[in-house]
């Protein structure tokens, strides 16, 4: 995966498979800490202790089409090679939380990528799930909730092309505002 956004998308698909009604994505980056931290948490079915210990093993998967599951191992190795960390906590019946951090200025860190597109498309594809996004840098914060957008839209679906396009622009603006000048790839 070449972008942090793609890793986030991948982990969000796990939340969808876990039957989540809410998926929260939070990205924090700061010049003070020198790290980018992404947290994906959901209220899905969660995992028991044993499964939780096995998920970073590429030969563990809940899918039935194949015997390998690479989403979590790929994210973990990406964090590790860019001077970050990876952790996953879960409670059976309550949800799962994945925390992935990267050294902000590490040469092997993937770029943030098209996070706006990922969040907008997830909102459109899974209208019954409240997709939330939180971007934090220092004192600045940007928040988005697909449930809130859906409420304003009323009978117009989130999957309407004009809506998706607008959401992408809206979230892109937020990313630029919060991370401009903080992440190398986003101009200040």
Partner 1 sequence: MKSLAELEQIRQRTLDQIKMRTNKDGIRIVVGMATCGIAAGARPVMNKLVEEIGKRKLGDVSVSMTGCIGVCKLEPIVEVINADGTKVTYVKMTPEKASRVIAEHIVNGRVCQDLTITAAEEAEK
x-or-dash pattern for partner 1, window 123-152, by CB under 8 A? -xxx-----------------x---xx--x
Which of 39, 45, 70, 182 contacts partner 1 by CB under 8 A? 70
d(Cα 53, Cα 177) in Å, to the nearest integer?
A: 38
Which lies closer to partner 1 via its Cβ, residue 52 or residue 70? 70
Residue 103's Cβ-side half-sphere holds a number of Cα atoms within 13 Å equal to 10
CB 14 within 8 A of CB 5: no
The residues pairing with 100 across neighbouring beta strands, listed in sequence order, are 38, 86
Choose the binding region for partner 1 from 19-27, 80-88, 132-140, 158-166 (rule: CB under 8 A): 158-166
Helix (H), strand (E) at residue 54: helix 49-54
Choose the binding region for partner 1 from 1-9, 24-32, 78-86, 95-103 (rule: CB under 8 A): 1-9
Which of 173, 180, 184, 185 contacts partner 1 by CB under 8 A? 173
| Shortest Å distance, C-beta 132 to partner 1 | 13
Q: How many CB atoms lie within 10 A of CB 89?
A: 13
CB 63 within 8 A of CB 170: no
Instruction: Using DSSP, state whether 52 is helix, strand or coil.
Output: helix
Choose the binding region for partner 1 from 18-26, 35-43, 96-104, 115-123 (rule: CB under 8 A): 115-123
Distance from the first to the final alpha carbon of the chain: 25
Site membership for partner 1, residue 188 (CB under 8 A): no
Residue with tokens 């892109």: 172
Which lies closer to partner 1 via its Cβ, residue 144 or residue 179? 144
Site for partner 1 in 13-32 (CB under 8 A): 13, 16-17
Site membership for partner 1, residue 50 (CB under 8 A): no
CB 38 within 8 A of CB 86: no
Residue with tokens 């190795």: 77
Give residues in contact with partner 1 (CB under 8 A): 1, 6, 9-10, 13, 16-17, 63, 65-66, 69-71, 74, 114, 117-118, 121-122, 124-126, 144, 148-149, 152-156, 159-166, 169-170, 173, 177
């Amino acid at each position: 995966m070449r972008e942090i956004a793609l890793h986030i998308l991948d982990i969000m698909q796990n939340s969808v498979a876990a039957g989540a009604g809410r998926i929260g994505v939070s990205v924090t980056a700061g010049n003070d800490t020198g790290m980018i931290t992404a947290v994906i948490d959901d209220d899905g079915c969660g995992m028991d202790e044993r499964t939780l210990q096995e998920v970073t093993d590429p030969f563990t998967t809940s899918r039935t089409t194949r015997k390998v599951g690479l989403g979590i191992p790929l994210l973990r190795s990406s964090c590790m090679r860019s001077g970050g960390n990876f952790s996953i906590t879960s409670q059976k019946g309550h949800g799962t939380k994945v925390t992935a951090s990267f050294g902000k200025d590490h040469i092997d860190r993937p770029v943030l990528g098209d996070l706006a597109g990922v969040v907008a498309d997830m909102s459109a594809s899974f209208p019954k799930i409240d997709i939330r996004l939180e971007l934090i840098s220092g004192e600045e914060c940007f928040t988005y909730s697909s449930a809130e957008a859906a409420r304003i839209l009323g009978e117009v679906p989130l999957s309407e092309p004009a809506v998706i396009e607008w959401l992408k622009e809206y979230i892109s603006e937020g990313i630029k505002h919060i991370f401009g000048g903080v992440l190398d790839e986003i101009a200040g």
